[in-house]
Chains A and B, each alone.
Chain A
Amino acid sequence: MSTSPSPDVIVCPGGPLLLRGEHVIADEDGVEHVTERPVSALCRCGKSASRPWCDGTHKVLPEKDRP
Protein backbone atom coordinates (compact mmCIF):
# COMPACT_ATOMS: atom_id res chain seq x y z
CA MET A 1 0.00 0.00 0.00
CA SER A 2 1.29 3.48 -0.81
CA THR A 3 2.02 5.79 2.07
CA SER A 4 1.05 8.97 0.24
CA PRO A 5 -2.33 10.34 1.31
CA SER A 6 -5.25 8.95 -0.66
CA PRO A 7 -7.06 11.48 -2.87
CA ASP A 8 -9.94 13.56 -1.52
CA VAL A 9 -11.25 14.42 -4.97
CA ILE A 10 -11.92 11.49 -7.28
CA VAL A 11 -13.18 11.78 -10.84
CA CYS A 12 -15.43 8.84 -11.75
CA PRO A 13 -15.25 8.14 -15.50
CA GLY A 14 -18.68 8.78 -17.02
CA GLY A 15 -20.05 9.78 -13.63
CA PRO A 16 -19.74 12.21 -10.75
CA LEU A 17 -16.85 13.79 -8.91
CA LEU A 18 -16.42 12.31 -5.44
CA LEU A 19 -15.48 14.75 -2.69
CA ARG A 20 -14.28 13.47 0.65
CA GLY A 21 -14.80 15.66 3.70
CA GLU A 22 -16.66 18.87 4.40
CA HIS A 23 -16.99 21.40 1.63
CA VAL A 24 -19.16 24.35 0.66
CA ILE A 25 -20.03 24.25 -3.03
CA ALA A 26 -21.14 27.33 -4.93
CA ASP A 27 -23.26 26.29 -7.93
CA GLU A 28 -23.61 28.09 -11.29
CA ASP A 29 -26.00 30.60 -9.73
CA GLY A 30 -23.74 31.26 -6.77
CA VAL A 31 -26.03 29.35 -4.41
CA GLU A 32 -24.04 27.62 -1.69
CA HIS A 33 -24.54 23.95 -0.76
CA VAL A 34 -22.88 22.31 2.24
CA THR A 35 -21.80 18.66 2.02
CA GLU A 36 -23.58 16.40 4.48
CA ARG A 37 -21.84 13.03 4.17
CA PRO A 38 -18.36 11.59 4.58
CA VAL A 39 -18.14 11.42 0.77
CA SER A 40 -20.34 13.41 -1.59
CA ALA A 41 -20.92 12.98 -5.32
CA LEU A 42 -21.03 16.14 -7.44
CA CYS A 43 -22.89 15.88 -10.74
CA ARG A 44 -20.65 16.33 -13.78
CA CYS A 45 -23.19 15.48 -16.49
CA GLY A 46 -25.42 18.46 -15.75
CA LYS A 47 -28.59 16.34 -15.89
CA SER A 48 -29.14 15.47 -12.22
CA ALA A 49 -32.47 16.56 -10.74
CA SER A 50 -30.68 17.08 -7.40
CA ARG A 51 -27.85 19.31 -8.58
CA PRO A 52 -25.22 19.99 -7.46
CA TRP A 53 -25.40 16.37 -6.27
CA CYS A 54 -25.34 13.34 -8.56
CA ASP A 55 -28.57 11.33 -8.58
CA GLY A 56 -27.46 8.55 -10.91
CA THR A 57 -29.02 10.13 -14.03
CA HIS A 58 -25.67 9.95 -15.87
CA LYS A 59 -26.23 6.19 -16.13
CA VAL A 60 -29.23 6.58 -18.44
CA LEU A 61 -27.60 9.13 -20.75
CA PRO A 62 -26.28 8.06 -24.15
CA GLU A 63 -22.55 7.34 -23.98
CA LYS A 64 -21.65 10.58 -25.79
CA ASP A 65 -23.44 12.75 -23.21
CA ARG A 66 -21.67 11.20 -20.23
CA PRO A 67 -18.88 13.24 -18.67
Chain B
Amino acid sequence: MSTLPKPRGPLSEALLAALASGHTDLAHVDPDSPEDAALSLWVLHELSYRGYDAVDDRLEHDPGLVRLRGRLEDDLERRLRECWPGRPAYDEGFAEAFFAWVAADDGPSLARHVQREATADQVVELVQHRSLYTLKEADPFTFALPRLPAPVRAALAELQYDEYGGGRPERLHAHLFAEGMAALGLDATGCGYVDEAPLEVLEQNNAMSLFGLNRRLRGASMGHLAAFEAVSSLPSRQVAQGLDRLGLPAEIRAYYEEHVEADAVHEQVAVRMICEPLIAAEPDLEDDVWFGAWCCLDLEARLARHLLAKWEAA
Protein backbone atom coordinates (compact mmCIF):
# COMPACT_ATOMS: atom_id res chain seq x y z
CA MET B 1 0.00 0.00 0.00
CA SER B 2 1.16 3.47 -0.78
CA THR B 3 0.89 6.62 1.25
CA LEU B 4 -0.75 9.62 -0.39
CA PRO B 5 1.56 12.35 -1.64
CA LYS B 6 1.32 16.06 -0.92
CA PRO B 7 -0.86 18.04 -3.35
CA ARG B 8 0.77 20.28 -5.98
CA GLY B 9 -2.17 22.47 -6.92
CA PRO B 10 -5.95 22.78 -6.89
CA LEU B 11 -6.72 19.57 -8.77
CA SER B 12 -4.49 17.27 -6.73
CA GLU B 13 -5.76 18.99 -3.59
CA ALA B 14 -9.40 18.36 -4.58
CA LEU B 15 -8.55 14.80 -5.62
CA LEU B 16 -6.97 13.98 -2.25
CA ALA B 17 -10.04 15.39 -0.53
CA ALA B 18 -12.29 13.30 -2.80
CA LEU B 19 -10.33 10.13 -2.01
CA ALA B 20 -10.87 10.81 1.69
CA SER B 21 -14.54 11.74 1.47
CA GLY B 22 -15.80 9.63 -1.43
CA HIS B 23 -17.38 12.74 -3.02
CA THR B 24 -15.74 12.45 -6.39
CA ASP B 25 -17.33 14.92 -8.77
CA LEU B 26 -14.25 16.81 -9.94
CA ALA B 27 -15.58 17.81 -13.37
CA HIS B 28 -15.23 21.53 -12.61
CA VAL B 29 -11.75 21.46 -11.10
CA ASP B 30 -8.81 22.15 -13.41
CA PRO B 31 -5.10 21.73 -12.78
CA ASP B 32 -3.08 24.94 -12.50
CA SER B 33 0.22 23.44 -13.67
CA PRO B 34 1.58 20.39 -15.51
CA GLU B 35 2.80 19.04 -12.12
CA ASP B 36 -0.69 19.33 -10.66
CA ALA B 37 -2.14 17.37 -13.60
CA ALA B 38 0.62 14.75 -13.66
CA LEU B 39 0.51 14.13 -9.92
CA SER B 40 -3.29 13.76 -10.05
CA LEU B 41 -3.04 11.18 -12.81
CA TRP B 42 -0.29 9.33 -10.94
CA VAL B 43 -2.47 9.21 -7.81
CA LEU B 44 -5.43 7.87 -9.82
CA HIS B 45 -3.34 5.19 -11.57
CA GLU B 46 -1.94 4.03 -8.25
CA LEU B 47 -5.47 2.92 -7.30
CA SER B 48 -5.01 0.20 -9.95
CA TYR B 49 -1.63 -0.96 -8.63
CA ARG B 50 -1.26 -0.95 -4.85
CA GLY B 51 -3.99 1.36 -3.55
CA TYR B 52 -3.68 3.44 -0.39
CA ASP B 53 -4.12 2.52 3.27
CA ALA B 54 -6.54 5.38 3.83
CA VAL B 55 -8.60 5.04 0.64
CA ASP B 56 -11.54 2.74 -0.15
CA ASP B 57 -10.38 0.26 -2.83
CA ARG B 58 -13.77 0.59 -4.57
CA LEU B 59 -12.86 4.09 -5.71
CA GLU B 60 -10.64 2.55 -8.42
CA HIS B 61 -13.75 2.33 -10.62
CA ASP B 62 -15.71 5.25 -9.22
CA PRO B 63 -17.39 7.02 -12.18
CA GLY B 64 -16.25 10.50 -11.14
CA LEU B 65 -12.64 9.39 -10.77
CA VAL B 66 -12.70 7.32 -13.96
CA ARG B 67 -13.96 10.43 -15.79
CA LEU B 68 -11.14 12.52 -14.34
CA ARG B 69 -8.61 9.83 -15.22
CA GLY B 70 -9.88 9.80 -18.80
CA ARG B 71 -9.62 13.57 -19.04
CA LEU B 72 -6.02 13.59 -17.77
CA GLU B 73 -5.03 10.57 -19.88
CA ASP B 74 -6.49 12.12 -23.04
CA ASP B 75 -4.49 15.26 -22.41
CA LEU B 76 -1.23 13.33 -21.84
CA GLU B 77 -1.78 11.17 -24.93
CA ARG B 78 -2.61 14.21 -27.08
CA ARG B 79 0.55 16.02 -25.98
CA LEU B 80 2.70 12.96 -26.68
CA ARG B 81 1.14 12.33 -30.10
CA GLU B 82 1.61 15.99 -31.07
CA CYS B 83 5.37 15.69 -30.49
CA TRP B 84 5.76 12.26 -32.09
CA PRO B 85 7.58 12.56 -35.44
CA GLY B 86 5.84 9.45 -36.78
CA ARG B 87 6.87 5.94 -37.71
CA PRO B 88 10.25 5.73 -39.50
CA ALA B 89 10.32 4.33 -43.04
CA TYR B 90 12.30 1.10 -43.43
CA ASP B 91 13.03 -1.61 -46.01
CA GLU B 92 14.60 -4.31 -43.85
CA GLY B 93 12.65 -6.41 -41.35
CA PHE B 94 10.98 -4.82 -38.34
CA ALA B 95 13.57 -6.10 -35.82
CA GLU B 96 16.55 -4.72 -37.76
CA ALA B 97 14.73 -1.43 -38.28
CA PHE B 98 13.81 -1.20 -34.61
CA PHE B 99 17.33 -1.87 -33.32
CA ALA B 100 18.77 0.58 -35.86
CA TRP B 101 16.27 3.24 -34.79
CA VAL B 102 17.18 2.77 -31.11
CA ALA B 103 20.90 2.87 -31.96
CA ALA B 104 20.41 6.19 -33.76
CA ASP B 105 18.97 7.79 -30.62
CA ASP B 106 21.38 10.41 -29.38
CA GLY B 107 19.56 11.58 -26.27
CA PRO B 108 21.54 12.51 -23.15
CA SER B 109 22.48 9.55 -20.96
CA LEU B 110 22.08 9.39 -17.21
CA ALA B 111 23.91 6.05 -17.19
CA ARG B 112 27.02 7.65 -18.71
CA HIS B 113 26.85 10.41 -16.11
CA VAL B 114 26.64 7.85 -13.30
CA GLN B 115 29.51 5.87 -14.80
CA ARG B 116 31.89 8.81 -15.09
CA GLU B 117 31.11 11.72 -12.84
CA ALA B 118 27.98 11.54 -10.71
CA THR B 119 28.36 12.15 -6.98
CA ALA B 120 26.93 9.68 -4.47
CA ASP B 121 24.18 12.19 -3.63
CA GLN B 122 23.18 12.40 -7.27
CA VAL B 123 23.02 8.61 -7.51
CA VAL B 124 20.83 8.46 -4.42
CA GLU B 125 18.54 11.09 -5.93
CA LEU B 126 18.35 9.13 -9.17
CA VAL B 127 17.53 5.91 -7.31
CA GLN B 128 14.70 7.73 -5.53
CA HIS B 129 13.29 8.92 -8.85
CA ARG B 130 13.69 5.50 -10.46
CA SER B 131 11.90 3.88 -7.52
CA LEU B 132 8.49 5.15 -8.64
CA TYR B 133 8.67 2.73 -11.53
CA THR B 134 11.21 0.17 -10.43
CA LEU B 135 9.42 -0.83 -7.22
CA LYS B 136 6.66 -1.98 -9.60
CA GLU B 137 9.01 -2.93 -12.39
CA ALA B 138 7.30 -4.77 -15.27
CA ASP B 139 3.82 -4.30 -13.73
CA PRO B 140 2.39 -1.79 -16.26
CA PHE B 141 3.09 -4.22 -19.12
CA THR B 142 1.42 -7.12 -17.32
CA PHE B 143 -1.89 -5.27 -17.65
CA ALA B 144 -1.59 -5.74 -21.43
CA LEU B 145 -1.02 -9.51 -21.22
CA PRO B 146 -4.58 -10.83 -21.72
CA ARG B 147 -5.19 -8.35 -24.54
CA LEU B 148 -2.57 -9.76 -26.91
CA PRO B 149 -2.77 -12.51 -29.54
CA ALA B 150 -1.70 -15.99 -28.41
CA PRO B 151 1.94 -16.16 -29.62
CA VAL B 152 2.60 -12.67 -28.26
CA ARG B 153 1.00 -13.56 -24.93
CA ALA B 154 3.29 -16.58 -24.62
CA ALA B 155 6.39 -14.47 -25.30
CA LEU B 156 5.38 -11.65 -22.96
CA ALA B 157 4.61 -14.17 -20.20
CA GLU B 158 8.07 -15.67 -20.69
CA LEU B 159 9.71 -12.24 -20.45
CA GLN B 160 7.66 -11.22 -17.42
CA TYR B 161 8.42 -14.54 -15.72
CA ASP B 162 12.07 -13.50 -15.74
CA GLU B 163 11.21 -9.97 -14.49
CA TYR B 164 9.23 -11.58 -11.68
CA GLY B 165 12.11 -13.80 -10.60
CA GLY B 166 11.37 -17.03 -12.46
CA GLY B 167 9.33 -18.32 -9.52
CA ARG B 168 11.89 -17.18 -6.91
CA PRO B 169 10.66 -14.10 -5.04
CA GLU B 170 14.20 -13.19 -4.01
CA ARG B 171 15.07 -12.82 -7.72
CA LEU B 172 12.11 -10.55 -8.56
CA HIS B 173 13.58 -7.45 -10.16
CA ALA B 174 11.49 -5.03 -8.11
CA HIS B 175 12.70 -6.88 -5.01
CA LEU B 176 16.36 -6.63 -6.06
CA PHE B 177 15.85 -2.89 -6.42
CA ALA B 178 14.15 -2.65 -3.01
CA GLU B 179 17.14 -4.43 -1.46
CA GLY B 180 19.46 -1.96 -3.18
CA MET B 181 17.41 0.95 -1.85
CA ALA B 182 17.48 -0.46 1.69
CA ALA B 183 21.27 -0.85 1.47
CA LEU B 184 21.45 2.84 0.53
CA GLY B 185 19.36 3.69 3.59
CA LEU B 186 16.27 4.54 1.51
CA ASP B 187 12.65 3.68 2.19
CA ALA B 188 11.59 0.93 -0.20
CA THR B 189 8.28 0.02 1.40
CA GLY B 190 5.69 1.89 -0.60
CA CYS B 191 6.07 4.92 -2.73
CA GLY B 192 8.02 7.10 -0.39
CA TYR B 193 9.54 9.41 -3.01
CA VAL B 194 6.58 10.70 -5.02
CA ASP B 195 6.81 14.10 -3.33
CA GLU B 196 10.39 14.46 -4.62
CA ALA B 197 9.56 13.33 -8.17
CA PRO B 198 9.86 16.00 -10.85
CA LEU B 199 7.26 16.31 -13.60
CA GLU B 200 9.41 14.21 -15.94
CA VAL B 201 9.34 11.19 -13.60
CA LEU B 202 5.59 11.45 -13.07
CA GLU B 203 4.96 11.61 -16.82
CA GLN B 204 7.23 8.64 -17.49
CA ASN B 205 5.18 6.60 -15.06
CA ASN B 206 1.86 7.97 -16.27
CA ALA B 207 2.65 7.07 -19.88
CA MET B 208 3.48 3.46 -18.97
CA SER B 209 0.24 3.17 -16.99
CA LEU B 210 -1.80 4.89 -19.71
CA PHE B 211 -0.55 2.35 -22.27
CA GLY B 212 -0.90 -0.66 -19.98
CA LEU B 213 -4.31 0.09 -18.53
CA ASN B 214 -6.07 0.92 -21.82
CA ARG B 215 -6.58 -2.06 -24.11
CA ARG B 216 -6.68 0.14 -27.21
CA LEU B 217 -3.08 1.20 -26.46
CA ARG B 218 -1.62 -2.33 -26.18
CA GLY B 219 0.57 -1.66 -29.23
CA ALA B 220 2.08 1.39 -27.55
CA SER B 221 2.62 -0.61 -24.36
CA MET B 222 4.59 -3.30 -26.19
CA GLY B 223 6.56 -0.73 -28.20
CA HIS B 224 7.45 1.06 -24.98
CA LEU B 225 8.53 -2.23 -23.41
CA ALA B 226 10.75 -3.07 -26.39
CA ALA B 227 12.45 0.33 -26.35
CA PHE B 228 12.96 0.16 -22.59
CA GLU B 229 14.63 -3.26 -22.86
CA ALA B 230 16.69 -2.19 -25.89
CA VAL B 231 18.36 0.69 -24.03
CA SER B 232 19.10 -1.22 -20.86
CA SER B 233 21.88 -3.79 -20.94
CA LEU B 234 24.90 -1.63 -21.87
CA PRO B 235 23.68 1.36 -19.77
CA SER B 236 23.12 -0.99 -16.82
CA ARG B 237 26.79 -1.94 -17.01
CA GLN B 238 27.74 1.76 -17.03
CA VAL B 239 25.62 2.35 -13.92
CA ALA B 240 27.13 -0.68 -12.19
CA GLN B 241 30.62 0.69 -12.95
CA GLY B 242 29.63 4.09 -11.55
CA LEU B 243 28.29 2.51 -8.35
CA ASP B 244 31.56 0.62 -8.04
CA ARG B 245 33.57 3.83 -8.60
CA LEU B 246 31.62 5.48 -5.76
CA GLY B 247 31.94 2.49 -3.44
CA LEU B 248 28.16 2.17 -3.13
CA PRO B 249 26.61 -1.03 -1.69
CA ALA B 250 26.80 -4.34 -3.55
CA GLU B 251 23.00 -4.78 -3.33
CA ILE B 252 22.23 -1.84 -5.59
CA ARG B 253 25.01 -2.88 -7.95
CA ALA B 254 23.49 -6.36 -8.10
CA TYR B 255 20.26 -4.93 -9.48
CA TYR B 256 22.11 -3.28 -12.38
CA GLU B 257 24.42 -6.26 -12.96
CA GLU B 258 21.37 -8.51 -13.26
CA HIS B 259 20.02 -6.20 -15.98
CA VAL B 260 23.15 -6.40 -18.11
CA GLU B 261 22.39 -10.04 -18.90
CA ALA B 262 18.62 -10.09 -18.39
CA ASP B 263 17.94 -7.24 -20.77
CA ALA B 264 20.30 -8.60 -23.41
CA VAL B 265 17.74 -11.42 -23.54
CA HIS B 266 14.65 -9.27 -23.03
CA GLU B 267 15.45 -6.88 -25.87
CA GLN B 268 15.56 -9.77 -28.34
CA VAL B 269 12.36 -11.29 -26.96
CA ALA B 270 10.53 -7.95 -26.87
CA VAL B 271 11.47 -6.97 -30.41
CA ARG B 272 11.47 -10.33 -32.23
CA MET B 273 8.94 -12.39 -30.29
CA ILE B 274 6.55 -9.70 -29.01
CA CYS B 275 6.43 -6.63 -31.28
CA GLU B 276 7.16 -8.34 -34.60
CA PRO B 277 4.46 -11.03 -34.26
CA LEU B 278 2.06 -8.48 -32.77
CA ILE B 279 2.41 -6.34 -35.89
CA ALA B 280 2.06 -9.43 -38.08
CA ALA B 281 -1.18 -10.40 -36.31
CA GLU B 282 -2.59 -6.87 -35.98
CA PRO B 283 -0.97 -4.62 -38.62
CA ASP B 284 -3.09 -1.67 -37.53
CA LEU B 285 -1.09 -1.57 -34.29
CA GLU B 286 2.26 -0.88 -35.93
CA ASP B 287 2.00 2.90 -35.63
CA ASP B 288 1.31 2.59 -31.92
CA VAL B 289 4.24 0.20 -31.41
CA TRP B 290 6.56 2.89 -32.80
CA PHE B 291 4.70 5.61 -30.93
CA GLY B 292 5.11 3.80 -27.59
CA ALA B 293 8.79 3.18 -28.30
CA TRP B 294 9.32 6.85 -29.13
CA CYS B 295 7.54 7.90 -25.91
CA CYS B 296 9.91 5.72 -23.88
CA LEU B 297 13.04 7.33 -25.35
CA ASP B 298 11.61 10.84 -25.39
CA LEU B 299 10.40 10.81 -21.78
CA GLU B 300 13.76 9.41 -20.63
CA ALA B 301 15.60 12.11 -22.59
CA ARG B 302 13.44 14.76 -20.94
CA LEU B 303 14.29 13.41 -17.49
CA ALA B 304 17.99 13.19 -18.35
CA ARG B 305 18.05 16.79 -19.60
CA HIS B 306 16.25 17.98 -16.47
CA LEU B 307 18.55 16.20 -14.01
CA LEU B 308 21.82 16.91 -15.85
CA ALA B 309 20.95 20.63 -16.10
CA LYS B 310 20.01 20.74 -12.43
CA TRP B 311 23.21 18.97 -11.34
CA GLU B 312 25.35 21.10 -13.62
CA ALA B 313 23.88 24.27 -12.13
CA ALA B 314 24.53 23.09 -8.56
Contacts and interface: CB of A to CB of B under 8 A. Distances in A.
The bracket for how many chain A residues form the interface is 20 to 34
Interface in B55-112: 95-96, 99, 103
A60 B103 CA distance: 8
B234 A38 contact: no
A39 interface: yes
Contacts of A20: 158
Interface string B261-289: 11111011100100000000000000000
Interface in A1-32: 1, 6, 10, 12-16, 18, 20
Most chain A CB inside 10 Å of its own CB: which residue of B151, B159, B237, B264: B264
Contacts of B234: 55-57, 59-60
Nearest to B167: A38
Nearest to A59: B103
B161 interface: yes
B264 A39 contact: no
Given A36-B166, A37-B166, 20 more contacts: A10-B272, A12-B268, A14-B96, A14-B99, A15-B268, A16-B264, A16-B265, A20-B158, A37-B262, A37-B265, A39-B265, A39-B269, A41-B268, A55-B233, A55-B234, A55-B237, A55-B264, A56-B233, A56-B264, A57-B234
A5 B89 CA distance: 33
A18 B150 contact: no
Contact of B237 (A18, A37, A49): A49
A14 to B, nearest CB: 8
B162 interface: yes
Given A13-B96, A16-B268, A18-B269, A38 B233 contact: no
Contacts of A50: 260-261
Contacts of B95: 12-13
Contact of B158 (A15, A36, A39): A39
Contacts of A13: 95-96
A40 B267 CA distance: 12
A37 B162 contact: yes
A1 B150 contact: yes
A46 B35 CA distance: 47
Nearest to A20: B158
A22 to B, nearest CB: 11
A14 B96 CA distance: 9
B260 A18 contact: no
B151 A40 contact: no
A23 B268 CA distance: 19
Contacts of B262: 37
Contacts of B233: 55-56
A55 B237 CA distance: 9
Interface in B286-308: none
Interface string B184-207: 000000000000000000000000
Interface string B133-156: 000000000000000001100000
A12 to B, nearest CB: 5
